Structure 1
Amino acid sequence: MAKQLDYHTIREIFTRFQAADPEPKGELDHVNVYTLVVAVALSAQATDAGVNKATKALFQIADTPQKMLDLGLEGLTEHIKTIGLFRQKAKNVMKLSQILVDEYGGEVPNSRAALIGLPGVGRKTANVVLNMWWSFPAQAVDTHIFRLGNRSGIAPGKTVDAVERAIEDNVPADQQLHAHHWMILHGRYHCKARKPQCPTCIIKDLCAFEHKTTLS
Structure 2
Amino acid sequence: MQVLTDVGQIAVIVDSKPYYLIPSFSAMARLSQNSPTRLTDIFVTVHGGRFPNLKNPMLAKNAEAICFANMVMECKEVIEKCCNEKVSALIGNLSVNRKGWLSYREGRLKLQDIITLARHLMRHGIMGDQKPDEDEEPQGKFTNEFDPRVYVYLAVAHLGISEQEAWGMTMTGFRAAMEAKFPRSEKDKIPSNKRYEEAMDWADKIIMRDNAR
- Same fold per TM (> 0.5)? no
- Return the TM-score normalized by structure 1: 0.32
Specify which structure has the higher proportion of helix.
1
